[in-house]
A and B are shown apart, each in its own frame.
Chain A
Amino acid sequence: MSASSSVAPPAAAARPARRRGGALRRFLRHRLAVFGAGVILFLTLACALGPYLLPFTDTHIDIMQRFAPPFSGAHVLGTDALGRDMLARLLMAGRISLLVGFSAMAISMVIGIAVGIVSGYYGGVVGTVLMRFVDAMLCFPSIFLLLAISALINASVSSIILLIAITSWMEVARIVEAQIRALRARDFAVAAEALGASDRRVMFRELLPNAIAPIVVAATLNVAHAILAESYISFLGYGIQPPTPSWGNMLDSAQSYLTSAPWLAILPGLAITLAVTSFNFIGDGLRDALDPRMDGR
């Protein structure tokens, strides 16, 4: 899986050859990944700046204009059951959903990398126990775990971020553990150890940088996962709580208006799908760019 395993470098203690020179070029050749990156950039900018440019705020209630369909009047994407502007709400919701996606990813990466690096480096009883714990956590279907815990806590944006993070670090831990375990036996790591480098130095300065490619890919896919997870639990009523809008909770009440105002359901769903697809495309492109030997598999 890694960009640098199995093929031994010519010099005995040389680090794995850095083949990342062409990575950007390879990424740019991956048209879907570039498309995804463009969409994410656009969505991020739109959500960050858009609300300042719109004539309506997301909380502006105009009861005379409720259920205005898209492209029909002053409200470009129509209004909801309270006459709030859909576009303004979508953008504000996007802020929350993207924030949850990125923050949950960051926290889950920290946990996953920490667990993976410790169990991969030390191995033995510690490694076995940690990895079996990962296996056990993965036995719980994610939505069931998310809902069971979210029912026990007070839902707020930060608690939802934490909740998603603590239920999505396991795959990362597995990937990092396998990488570190393989790299640890390589000459450059053995050499660093023989030179008297501390454990921490070997782990974070020698091993981790060489395992960065699959970690970056996993991080990208984790953002996609976190956005989806937020939308699931918010749709089911246990995620981000109104009045704070998120793409998931905008869909929460949409099912009851499916006949009369289908855009309430269609628009936030499209936003989620667009964002998640884009992150998946980027992840795919990064995998190809950072690991040329995968060759389109």
Chain B
Amino acid sequence: MSSYVIRRLLQGAGLLLLVSMIGFAILHLAPGGPLSQFAAGGDMTQEDLDRVAAQLGLDRPLPIQYLDWLWRMLQGDWGLSYRDQQPVLSVIGSHLGATLELMLTSTLLAMMIGAWVGILGAIRRYSLFDGFATIGAMIALSIPTFWFGLVVIYVFSVGLGWLPSGNRYTIGDESLANRVHHLIGPCMVLALVSTAVWSRYMRSSMLDVIHQDYIRTARSKGIPERRILIHHAVRNALLPMITITGLHLPTLLSGALVTETVFTWPGMGRLFLDSINYRDYPVVMGILMFTAVLVLLGSLLADLLYNVADPRLGANAT
């Protein structure tokens, strides 16, 4: 068990190193590299550019620059935003809460509906319900998130007038009720894809479990079907979903960016898009690296949790 944890952590660290190299490569991919912001202004001569490059250490060999950049990243120095000269990490931090709020609530919603649909689909396999759930999930995975957002705004905000069409709360009214009211729309939109993913994996996980010997044993012992399903089947079928939730994180983050844009939700995704519009590369790079690290940690955590939660995967199994 502990050797597994150590090995997994080492793998994670190695992956982090590769992720940082890719991030650094993208940063230097820009025409003119990190200097492009100065060059774009047009009022600097080549001499000036060379001087700035020397000041920023951009005239050194790339591996040295990379190590220097990595060392500063590890110390929490992610550079300053071009827009307001704030440290990148604190800019990200101030937008993280809104994104997490949206991601957590929509994940909870998706888990509840998706698990229910998946379990029911597995129990009544090939029923009408199962058929509709399968097609529904497939369509849900194919709908562009931003378009579903537009449809939700059109129906619930423009048409029915039930929901606000954007923002996190009405200015001057930060009560819980007002926040929840603003959260419903984006939460629903972001949950669509996750619900489809959850229902599919839950269904197949449940199908795996209900054909196991211990379920047959439980049946032969005369335990009521309902109790078998809840106590024996569902609990075991939920275990692999820990991994799925970890694997789904990149998709969820991408969805959050789009949802935040449509609903003018002041989160990290919207900040990312705004920063791209302003050519604020330190923030763009910061968020890109931040999300990659988040995904990495998410999958690491999911793996470790799964290992702890499922005693069958003890020291011997790994």
Contact = CB atoms under 8 A, between A and B. Distances in A.
Interface of A: 32, 132-133, 135-145, 147-149, 151-152, 224, 228, 231-232, 235-236, 238, 248, 251, 254-255, 258-259, 262, 265-266, 268-269, 272-273, 276-277, 280-281, 284, 296-297
10 contacts: A139-B250, A144-B287, A144-B288, A147-B273, A232-B146, A235-B147, A236-B146, A262-B154, A272-B144, A272-B147
Contact of A139 (B257, B287, B296): B296
Please classify the interface of chain B as helix (H, G, I), strand (E, B), loop, or mixed, using the class held by over half of its residues: helix
A135 to B, nearest CB: 6
B15 A269 contact: no
A32 B272 contact: no
B138 A148 contact: no
The number of chain B residues touching the other chain, given as a range, is 35 or more
A40 to B, nearest CB: 13
Interface string B115-141: 000000000011000000001001101
Q: Please list the 8 inter-chain residue pairs (A to B) with the smallest Cβ-Cβ separation, ordered nearest first.
A: A269-B147, A136-B18, A143-B254, A276-B142, A277-B142, A141-B253, A141-B250, A139-B292
Given A255-B150, A272-B144, A143 B258 contact: yes
Contact of B14 (A32, A132, A142, A152): A132
A226 B246 CA distance: 23
Nearest to A260: B158
Contacts of B151: 265-266, 269
B208 to A, nearest CB: 9
B29 A152 contact: yes
B142 A144 contact: no
B261 A236 contact: yes
Contacts of B302: none
A238 B284 CA distance: 14
A266 to B, nearest CB: 7
A251 B2 CA distance: 52
Contacts of B18: 132-133, 135-136
B214 to A, nearest CB: 20
B85 to A, nearest CB: 21
B144 to A, nearest CB: 5
A187 B272 CA distance: 52
A286 to B, nearest CB: 14
A255 B144 contact: no
A95 B186 CA distance: 32
A149 B135 CA distance: 34
Contact of A140 (B29, B276, B291): B291
Contact of A255 (B125, B262, B279, B291): B262
A297 B14 CA distance: 35
Nearest to B29: A152
Contacts of A149: 26, 29
